Structure 1
Amino acid sequence: MVAVLFGSLVAACDSSNVGPPDELQVLKVPSSEADTEALLAWAENVIAGRCMVSKGYSFAVSVFESSASKRRDPLDELYGTSDIEEARERGYGINQVFHAGGEAAPDPNRAYLASLSKEDRRRFDVAYFGPSEAVVNVDTAEGRFSVGAEGCLADARSQLYGGIEEWAPLDVWVTGLDSQVYATVVRDPGYKTTLRKWRQCMVGLKHSAADPGASRERVAELARSLNQTKAAQLERTVAVADAVCNKESGLRHRAGELHQSHAAEVLRDNQDRAADYQRRRNAAVAVARDLVVEVSK
């Protein structure tokens, strides 16, 4: 959710099979429905792909974007949803992931990678990700994160966001903000009060759980041992109960208010860091839009 505050919609156009076979293969460019994350991921792949081609590898780039109607509020993953109709239609979204691949982005380079020998695949990985010892280490309250500092992917990120040593700590910080804020929200007396109401409601519906996240995790675990039909039925039943109790208790609404309030406080306390992150993101979006125009010619 916090990272989403930095995002915006972008306009582009569709394309296919751009470039001759001996060059980077751009199978698709972001559409007018693509959000910023899809645009930036595509641009990162284009820049990294050109680097890989210059090293003698084949590389293809596509874009994966979910429609606006399928985009879920990131806070739903933390606090659940009170949208009963969505729960009735999609459950938690777990059955889609386990049985239908969900919304995972397909890898357009899968066939090429499968054709490589084990040693050539290793070389490909080193060229793309860089050697395993070349990393930028970022220490956080949750532990240490290591980000590749060399290779085509790191080069692409440097071109988009500035030096990788400066960008990596910013990116790790923003990525972890929702978790940091969540830890504060769940200690808030107002959240605890509404959570107790949610739990009582779930017990009454015979689907007791510690919180919406625990309910979703339990369903996910049970779904692994069921066929698709039974898994979907179980998931929707529990998800609807979760949403009903979420709506009756006001849990999602209260949690959302607290989350946004605490997130705003964190951003105020880190204004320089937040501004630096936003500046780099804006610059990257401008580069990505230019790439869309260039590739679409």
Structure 2
Amino acid sequence: MRRYTLIGGLMVAAALAVPVSYATWEASQETARASDASEVPLRPITPTETDRLYTAEQLLVKECMRRAGFLYNPSPRNPVPEHRNFPYVVDDITWARRHGYGSDLEEKRDRLAKNSANRRYFESLSPAQKSAVTVAMNGPTAKGLRAYLPNGQPVEHSDKGCTSEARRKLYRDLPAWYRTLKLTESLPGFRAELVLNDRAYLKAVTKWSRCMRTNGFQYPTPAHSRAAGMAGEPVASRAFEIRLAVTEAQCAAETGLARTAKALDRHHDGVLRRKFHRELAAHQKLQIAALSRAGAIVEPG
């Protein structure tokens, strides 16, 4: 079964994850590590370099789609840079006073996606053309590339189509890139799950909930208060959203929840990075090796 998401305004197919045994996953990782042995000195990738790699990939996709007979406009990596995620609790009072829980920024992001050149182009196509452009972008089926998430679940993607062609040209070893990319992308979500179920976090949330109750809000967790703040009509609930988010942030500071969440996030990040250090190192090596190729693609344009 495949699910579809939007990338750059075009429908992208990805396989749904299905369970696999941890032993199978471990065996697959050992095989993967053997193919990631290229010696590239490791160092952090800078934000500028991350943008360069993303832009190069977008330009390669554009050229590939042009050869396939379709239009594609490179999309910005971060169209709403002021948008922020607070996986544990809103802890920035200044940001909360301006954006509440960020419903205004989510609306802006949705509006930009809806009105993007790629979306308008896609919607202008006939049903047959829409199917063709999706295949050109993503390949005919989600087969050919496989990665395993930290919980052992596999995800798959086609090794054909313009997305895979662009990544193959940029990173050369496409299977290794997909394998390390999917694991790297999934780690923040798994880290958040560890923090949210940590006893220290749950204890701090109890104190935070009492603080919220003192201020007139009956919510057991920040997830509940966010759900309440984001519910309802935007105009009618905007003042409530901001007031609730500001109170959440104030209580997070007063009770120590914000401090506890940050400390636990650092702790579990370190645990996961140590556990998957080989995969993370392999991903970083592929990025560093691709920088010169990315530069040759981006700088002329």
The answer, yes or no, to whether TM exceeds 0.5 is: yes
Q: Are 1:52 and 2:71 matched, yes or no?
A: no
1:257-296 equivalent positions in 2, closer than 5 A: 257-295=263-301
- Amino acid paired to 1:9: P
Deviation at 1:201, TM superposition (A): 1.0
> Cα gap change, 1:209/1:195 in structure 2, threshold over 3 Å: closer, same or farther?
same
Listed as ranges, the gaps of 5+ residues in structure 1 are 11-34
Deviating 4+ runs (over 6 angstroms): none
Q: Are 1:8 and 2:14 matched, yes or no?
A: no
For residues 164 and 114 of structure 2, what CA distance do their matches in structure 1 show?
Answer: 21
For residues 166 and 119 of structure 1, what CA distance do their matches in structure 2 show?
Answer: 33
Deviation at 1:166, TM superposition (A): 1.7
> Cα gap change, 1:232/1:211 in structure 2, threshold over 3 Å: closer, same or farther?
same
Deviation at 1:167, TM superposition (A): 1.8
Query: Are the equivalent residues in 1 in contact too, given 2:147–2:180 (CA < 8 A)?
Result: no
For residues 123 and 103 of structure 2, what CA distance do their matches in structure 1 show?
Answer: 28
> Cα gap change, 1:203/1:285 in structure 2, threshold over 3 Å: closer, same or farther?
farther
- Given the alignment, which residue of 156, 171, 184 partners 1:174? 184
**Percent of aligned positions that are identical:** 25
Deviation at 1:267, TM superposition (A): 1.2
Deviation at 1:57, TM superposition (A): 2.0
- Amino acid paired to 2:239: Q
Query: Are the equivalent residues in 2 in contact too, given 1:194–1:249 (CA < 8 A)?
Result: yes
Per-residue CA deviations over 1:197-251 (Å, capped at 9, x if unaligned) read 111111222323232233213322x23xx1x322321211111111111111111
> Cα gap change, 1:151/1:67 in structure 2, threshold over 3 Å: closer, same or farther?
closer
2:170 aligned counterpart, secondary structure: helix
- Given the alignment, which residue of 106, 124, 134 partners 1:97? 106
Deviates more, 1:140-149 or 1:180-189: 140-149
Query: Are the equivalent residues in 2 in contact too, given 1:62–1:108 (CA < 8 A)?
Result: no
Deviation at 1:130, TM superposition (A): 0.5
Deviates more, 1:99-108 or 1:153-162: 99-108
Deviates more, 1:151-160 or 1:94-103: 94-103
For residues 117 and 67 of structure 1, what CA distance do their matches in structure 2 show?
Answer: 31
1:207 aligned counterpart, secondary structure: coil
For residues 272 and 89 of structure 2, what CA distance do their matches in structure 1 show?
Answer: 23
- Given the alignment, which residue of 225, 228, 235 partners 1:218? 228
1:234 aligned counterpart, secondary structure: helix
For residues 105 and 8 of structure 1, what CA distance do their matches in structure 2 show?
Answer: 30
Q: Are 1:165 and 2:175 matched, yes or no?
A: yes
Q: What value does the CA root-mean-square deviation take over the aligned residues?
A: 2.7
> Cα gap change, 1:104/1:90 in structure 2, threshold over 3 Å: closer, same or farther?
farther
> Cα gap change, 1:104/1:206 in structure 2, threshold over 3 Å: closer, same or farther?
farther
Q: Are 1:125 and 2:163 matched, yes or no?
A: no
> Cα gap change, 1:59/1:189 in structure 2, threshold over 3 Å: closer, same or farther?
closer
> Which structure is higher in RCO with an 8 Å CA cutoff and minimum separation 6?
2
For residues 208 and 144 of structure 1, what CA distance do their matches in structure 2 show?
Answer: 40
Query: Are the equivalent residues in 2 in contact too, given 1:160–1:284 (CA < 8 A)?
Result: yes
1:61 aligned counterpart, secondary structure: coil
Give the match for residue 250 of structure 1.
Answer: 256
Query: Are the equivalent residues in 1 in contact too, given 2:171–2:289 (CA < 8 A)?
Result: yes
Query: Are the equivalent residues in 2 in contact too, given 1:202–1:209 (CA < 8 A)?
Result: yes
Per-residue CA deviations over 1:93-112 (Å, capped at 9, x if unaligned) read 12332377477596322333
For residues 114 and 55 of structure 2, what CA distance do their matches in structure 1 show?
Answer: 11
For residues 210 and 142 of structure 1, what CA distance do their matches in structure 2 show?
Answer: 32
2:106 aligned counterpart, secondary structure: helix
For residues 112 and 212 of structure 2, what CA distance do their matches in structure 1 show?
Answer: 29
Q: Are 1:108 and 2:88 matched, yes or no?
A: no
For residues 94 and 131 of structure 1, what CA distance do their matches in structure 2 show?
Answer: 36
Listed as ranges, the gaps of 5+ residues in structure 2 are 1-42
For residues 69 and 109 of structure 2, what CA distance do their matches in structure 1 show?
Answer: 35
For residues 203 and 153 of structure 1, what CA distance do their matches in structure 2 show?
Answer: 49
- Amino acid paired to 1:174: T
